[in-house]
A and B are shown apart, each in its own frame.
Chain A
Amino acid sequence: MALLEVTDLVTHFKTDRGIVQAVNGVSFSLDRGQTLGIVGESGSGKSVLSRSIMNLLPRRGVIRSGEVVFDGKVTSTMSSKESRKLYGPGMAMIFQDPMTSLNPVVKIGRQLTEGLTQHFDVKKSVARETAEELLRSVGIPEPKRRLSEYPFQLSGGMRQRVVIASALACGPQMLFADEPTTALDVTVQKTILNLLARQQRERDMAMILVTHDLGVVAGRTDEIMVMYAGMVVEKANTTDLFANMRHPYTEALLKSIPKLSDPSHTRLESIPGRPPNLIAPPTGCRFAPRCTYADDWCHKELPPLAEDPESPGHFFRCWNPVSVTAVKIASKPETADASAASAPAGAN
């Protein structure tokens, strides 16, 4: 049985202007030791999804439905007291910005041992040794000295390592990494992602990597789920997705990554328009207003998340799927342009 089973998860927020449909009927499952990448631009509901799975959203003003089963237990209906026990040893989360996710006035040692003393009956000295060990395992030199330092004494990359160490402190079965490298320097991003991958392998954790950057998830995840306007628009295992992307949005996301092989001053491709208003989402396909392939039908009827008959396990939500199979892997995207140019797909 899968470690995490999410069925038809819906999260809406009540606001003064109306109901924001942040997450709309998302379903997926994740096994132990597997990595799922959730990709989408800002406002696509990816962060809300991970917070919703972890029960971290406020109760007030939030409409939720659907079911989350973690390790055989239904967590979506748990009280905050019950879900507290789940955090740490069960689920843990790494946040986007290490500048804000560490407490600026609390020493690193205490921030690391907080989870340990909360969940396990350990002595302070033991917790401190564990914290030191954790810092060493995430590649922080002189861990003993760092324990008595404050976050502002560390660089951004080091801080994110501390955040990772504190998330790993209780040995979670499942790790949510919510844009773990967005706030970091590009040179540091890779080392942090490698560190996460190594820790995941060593601990046999399940991991959900939330990002807006297809390049980040390429080659690091087993499965990728592309989200748009709170809905899953494409879901496939990683090699499959890059080899044969079907949804125009996925394709557009990939095209908007700058390529080193392009001549200088090449205009970066972007997706025209803005993400839809989630209070009054467009009828029909949510992506239709920004889609180059959209026709009348796309604007009328919301496509279902359907499985590709040719490759089982590859789901997409599109009436006019991109059908050319030339995009191989994100790190070699120069072929993407050629494919995209000849991409206009057949009619529905």
Chain B
Amino acid sequence: MTAVAEQREQSAAAVTSEPVPSVAAPLLVRKPWGLAFWVAVGWLVSVVVSTIVANLVDWKKEVDFLGTVDVTEGRWSKTISATHPFGLNFGGNDILVDLVRGAKNSLVIAAATVILGFLVGGTLGMVAGYFRGRVDTILSFFANVLLSVPPLLFILLMIAVLSSRGGTGEAQALSSSVGKVSLALGILSIPQIFRVVRASTIQFSQREFVMAARAMGAKVPRILWGDILPNVAKPMLAYGLVSAGAVMVIEGGLSFLGVGVGSGTDTTAWGKQISAASQRADLERAPMVAFIPGLALFLTVLAFNYIGDKARERLENKQAAL
């Protein structure tokens, strides 16, 4: 997942170019979040709400597909009508409906991957960072092993293994589900998160308040949960948001390799929707069919990154004030 690192570098560059608030500024006067932040939050909220609503309603009944011109038979713009504001795609489905419904899988994969990564990688990272010694050596070794596995090979292998164990036929050996993709991406994200959390934990474990907690008789789980986690969690929140954006991009990439979520015309995630319309002939005929889900993906990832960046900026200021 080098994409995560790239995203972080880009966002770091964005932060430094912004004016640094004066040290003398009163601590309690907060800089406003800014309009762009709320636009980003608004976009994410509307994507989440609309996809929940859309997946509760049976749209096949609501939207009349018949009587409209299929893209395969004519120009994409001809398929636009009051009932299909974004037109139809090559499967004859309404692009807006697919977009809204497909957001669910993209978001679920992003969330599940990041949650899995933080649950496993974060816990192990805190344990390794707090205890150091042999525990740290062993865990760090496994993290490094996992980091040195080529990520694409690993994902393909994982999905192949999971599919064959699921009992599906050979022809469908590479079909993916949300669970398989999340699991593969989640495992890949573990060592990254492990390293970040471990480094952060080491830093906070050496602070005197940890020794103060020990001198008060606190047990190790209590120190990890009550004293170190609150310190580590806030910067990790920002990292998690940026990772979520990165995961969505990677999921899109997987669809191009044919291991994305959904198969054939049943386009259930954004990545698959883009790739389904990305045959060369299709792109020449109706580029918008691929472009619309691409734009949705782009805006959502941008929103994740921007919110993560803003959150980090805010938290870093607060940390510096301590």
Contact = CB atoms under 8 A, between A and B. Distances in A.
Contact of B218 (A51, A99, A102, A118): A118
B233 to A, nearest CB: 9
A97 B208 CA distance: 8
B217 A119 contact: yes
A102 B209 contact: yes
A88 B216 contact: yes
Interface stretch (B40-48, B139-147, B219-227, B302-310): B219-227
Most chain-A Cβ atoms within 10 A of its Cβ — which of B27, B230, B318, B322? B322
25 contacts: A51-B211, A54-B215, A85-B217, A87-B217, A88-B216, A88-B217, A92-B216, A93-B212, A95-B208, A95-B211, A97-B208, A100-B209, A101-B211, A101-B212, A103-B213, A104-B209, A105-B230, A106-B226, A114-B213, A119-B217, A153-B27, A153-B28, A167-B215, A167-B216, A169-B216
Nearest to B133: A60
A56 interface: yes
A32 interface: no
Interface size class of B (residues with CB under 8 A): 20 to 34
B231 interface: yes
A163 B213 CA distance: 11
Interface string B215-253: 111110010001100110010000000000000000000
A220 to B, nearest CB: 22
B207 A118 contact: no
Contact of B212 (A95, A105, A110, A118): A95
A278 B83 CA distance: 83
Interface of B: 27-28, 133, 207-209, 211-219, 222, 226-227, 230-231, 234, 318-319, 321-322
Contacts of A100: 207-209
A199 B191 CA distance: 50
Given A56-B211, A95-B208, A118-B222, A104 B322 contact: yes
A297 interface: no
A11 to B, nearest CB: 16
Most chain-A Cβ atoms within 10 A of its Cβ — which of B207, B216, B234? B216
A103 B215 contact: no
Contacts of B216: 87-88, 92, 114-115, 118, 166-167, 169-170
A275 to B, nearest CB: 22
Interface string A93-133: 10111011111111000100011001100000000000000
Nearest to A169: B216
Interface in A157-176: 163, 166-167, 169-170
Contacts of A86: 217
What are the 4 closest A-B residue pairs judged by CB atoms, nearest first? A87-B217, A115-B216, A101-B208, A100-B208
Interface size class of A (residues with CB under 8 A): 35 or more
Interface in A63-96: 84-88, 91-93, 95-96
B231 A103 contact: yes
B231 A105 contact: yes
A151 interface: yes
Nearest to B234: A105
Most chain-A Cβ atoms within 10 A of its Cβ — which of B133, B212, B222? B212
A101 B206 CA distance: 11
A104 B234 CA distance: 12
A92 B215 contact: yes
B231 A115 contact: no
B48 to A, nearest CB: 28
B213 to A, nearest CB: 7
B212 A163 contact: yes
A84 B217 contact: yes
A137 B107 CA distance: 53
Given A95-B208, A99-B322, A103-B230, A56 B217 contact: no
A239 to B, nearest CB: 32
B235 to A, nearest CB: 11
Contacts of B227: 103, 106
A178 B184 CA distance: 50
A120 to B, nearest CB: 11
B31 to A, nearest CB: 16
A166 B208 CA distance: 14
Contacts of A101: 208-209, 211-212
Contacts of B318: 152
A104 B222 CA distance: 16
A132 to B, nearest CB: 18
Given A97-B208, A100-B207, A152 B322 contact: yes
Most chain-A Cβ atoms within 10 A of its Cβ — which of B209, B213, B215, B319? B215
A151 B322 contact: yes
A115 B217 contact: yes
A149 to B, nearest CB: 11
A163 B216 CA distance: 11
B66 to A, nearest CB: 59
Given A105-B231, A106-B227, A115-B216, 15 more contacts: A51-B211, A84-B217, A85-B217, A91-B215, A93-B212, A101-B212, A103-B213, A103-B227, A104-B231, A114-B222, A114-B226, A115-B217, A118-B216, A151-B322, A152-B27
